[in-house]
């Protein structure tokens, strides 16, 4: 299950998608909009993506993780558009027979997603300013969530 959605992510659906009688371990990761980055206050985030390529990259990551970590299944859903405080922008569910690979894969998937999947976040700060986040620059916010 790989999706890009414009409304609330239903994590129950991800858990169901990856669960079976063989999945002794299921790990779900949720990335949510956080109110404070240091002292700066966020009003909301807005995400944009390159849809066809983002879906292709998510599917490739899914297949690579299943192979690399010996998983049973992976589901990934990313939301685009406005994501309010406390709401989920990305959900990753991983299932495996044993718990270790499920944790390792969940960690690897979100790390890798943040590096290669063409999705961008815009900060709408409480002071009224806005900022596209393009990491690894002196002049721009880097994302450390």
Partner 1 sequence: MKILLFAGLKEAIGDEELEIRVEGRTVAEVKAELATRFPEVENLVRRSHFAVGQDYVSDSFRFETTPDEIALIPPVSGG
Binding residues with its own copies: total (CB under 8 A):
34
Coil, strand, or helix at residue 18? helix
Residue 51, CA distances (Å) to 84, 119, 129 in order: 21, 8, 26
What is the C-alpha to C-alpha distance for residues 56 and 62, in angstroms, rounded to an integer?
A: 10
Q: Is 19 in the site for its own copies (CB under 8 A)?
A: yes
Q: Is 33 in the site for its own copies (CB under 8 A)?
A: yes
CB of 52 to its own copies, least distance (A): 27
Q: Is 83 in the site for partner 1 (CB under 8 A)?
A: no
> Which residue, among 77, 71, 95, has the nearest Cα to 2 in the 3D structure?
77
24, two tokens: 């002794």
Q: With CB under 8 A as the contact rule, which of the stretches 14-22, 36-44, 48-56, 65-73 interacts with partner 1?
A: 48-56
Among 86, 127, 136, 139, binds its own copies (CB under 8 A): 86
Q: Is 114 in the site for partner 1 (CB under 8 A)?
A: yes
Among 2, 9, 31, 123, binds its own copies (CB under 8 A): 31
116 binds, among partner 1, its own copies, none (CB under 5 to 8 A by kind): partner 1
In b/e form, how buried is each residue of 88-124, taking b as 16+ CB within 10 angstroms? bbbbbbbbbeeeebbbbbbebbbeebeeebebebebe
CB of 145 to partner 1, least distance (A): 7
Angle among Cα 86, 80, 89 to the nearest 5 degrees reads 30
| Residues in contact with partner 1 by the rule CB under 8 A | 31, 47-50, 52-54, 56, 78, 89-90, 110, 113-122, 132-137, 139-140, 143, 145
């Amino acid at each position: 299950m790989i999706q890009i959605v414009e409304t609330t992510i239903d994590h129950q659906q991800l858990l169901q998608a990856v669960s079976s009688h063989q999945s002794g371990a299921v790990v779900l990761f949720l990335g949510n909009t956080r109110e404070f980055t240091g002292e700066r206050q966020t009003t909301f985030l807005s995400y944009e993506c390159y849809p066809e390529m983002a879906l292709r990259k998510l599917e490739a990551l899914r297949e690579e993780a299943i192979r690399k970590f010996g998983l049973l299944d992976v589901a990934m859903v990313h939301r685009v558009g406005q994501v309010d405080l406390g709401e989920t922008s990305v959900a990753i569910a991983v299932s495996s027979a044993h718990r270790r690979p499920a944790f390792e894969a969940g960690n690897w998937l979100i790390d890798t997603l943040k590096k290669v999947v063409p999705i961008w976040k815009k900060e709408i700060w409480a002071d009224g300013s806005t900022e596209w986040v393009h990491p690894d620059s002196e002049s721009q916010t880097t994302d450390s969530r």
